[in-house]
Amino acid sequence: MKGALNVENPVLEVHGLNTSFVTDNGVIPVVNDIDFVVNRREVVGIVGESGCGKSVTSLSIMGLVPTSNGKVNGKIVFNGENLINSSEKRMRSIRGNEIAMIFQEPMTSLNPVFTIGDQLIEAVKIHRKWPKKKAKEHAIDMLKKVGLPRTEELMKEYPHQLSGGMRQRVMIAMAMLCEPKLLIADEPTTALDVTIQAQILDLMKKLNKETDTAIIMITHDLGVVAQMCERIIVMYSGKIVEEADVRTLFKSPKHPYTVGLIKSIPDMRTKKDRLDSITGNVPKPGSIEFGCHFAPRCPHAFKRCLTETPELKSLPNGQKIRCFLHDDTEVAQ
């Protein structure tokens, strides 16, 4: 685990981000008024169960929320530029170049009618203006770095000819081609075996150190978070419920949800018949109007939790927490 936080100039500042979708049942909020900063060269983890708003947060940053039924408000400041106000043309010049994303499902992210080589070479030619030969050499080199075999032949193949793990490594190679200032990795090692996972994480850490790339790591795997990240943001039901440096969060989690997540990690040092789990399920977006969204699942909930929504507050050690249990004006009953 890493210790002190990176305090260099921020590469990304998110302020008051709200993302909602128009449905037949009305406007459904999915991300609710979140704020966070990612500094240059910093690796920040965003964790939480499925449905907590992690991926929608990343799509909002990338400008990939569909405009037909999606609405994004707030500020997303990248290198001093508010991306909320940027045109689609400007966003196309940023995506894949200054900000890159490794998507969770590579089969739906790669174009099925173009070869792997065509897709990699196009990305380099567009953003770096390199000739085709140089772009091809760079693409082949990156495929080798992510551990793919027979790269010359692979460049001529189509996505459906590759296994899930190979497609995922192609996506990782594509995201790293232009050495972006910010890399968003949404479950980047889900389809990979343990050996390749370690190799990919090492490659991402090398990119982070050598090119000053900041990384947002979105994952369910707290082991990956402990290995990769300097700071962790815990999301639940579209809100940030806790934020701390990785050492503090694993040593002294404050929010009951974070405590539950950490207790669910298998520990070889202890013998248990069953792993700990958090009862219940993540609520559907917009289904809870009043109170703390975690209250229905929280073993420490009391009356105030059901009627008031807690604010995200900073503790003296810099840790941020959204919970009445740590409000000096209230005593749990």
Structure tokens at 288: 């809870």
What sign for the dihedral angle of Cα 215, 219, 225, 227?
negative
The confidence score (pLDDT) of residue 32 equals: 94
H-assigned helices in 12-147: 54-62, 88-94, 106-109, 116-128, 132-145
Instruction: Please say whether the beta carbons of 193 and 19 come within 8 A.
Output: no
Report the first-to-last Cα separation within the chain, whole angstroms. 35
The region of weakest confidence among 24-38, 57-71, 182-196 is 182-196
Right CATH number for 10-98+180-279 from 1.25.40.10, 3.40.50.360, 3.80.10.10, 3.40.50.300? 3.40.50.300
Average pLDDT, integer, range 191-195: 76
pTM of the model: 0.88
Task: Please provide the average confidence, as pLDDT, over all residues in the chain.
Answer: 88
User: How many Å apart are CA 66 and CA 310, to the nearest integer?
Assistant: 30
The confidence score (pLDDT) of residue 112 equals: 92
The confidence score (pLDDT) of residue 200 equals: 80
The confidence score (pLDDT) of residue 207 equals: 79
Strand partners, 232: 45, 244
- Domain ranges across the chain: 10-98+180-279, 110-178
User: 296 in the Ramachandran plot: left (φ > 0), alpha (ψ -120 to 50) or beta?
Assistant: alpha
Question: Tens digits of per-residue pLDDT, 86-134?
Answer: 999 999 999 989 999 988 776 678 899 999 999 999 989 888 889 999 9
Instruction: Please say whether the beta carbons of 75 and 8 come within 8 A.
Output: no
- Cβ neighbors of 293 (< 8 A, separation 6 or more) are 236, 237, 238, 239, 283
Q: Is the pLDDT of residue 4 over 60?
A: no
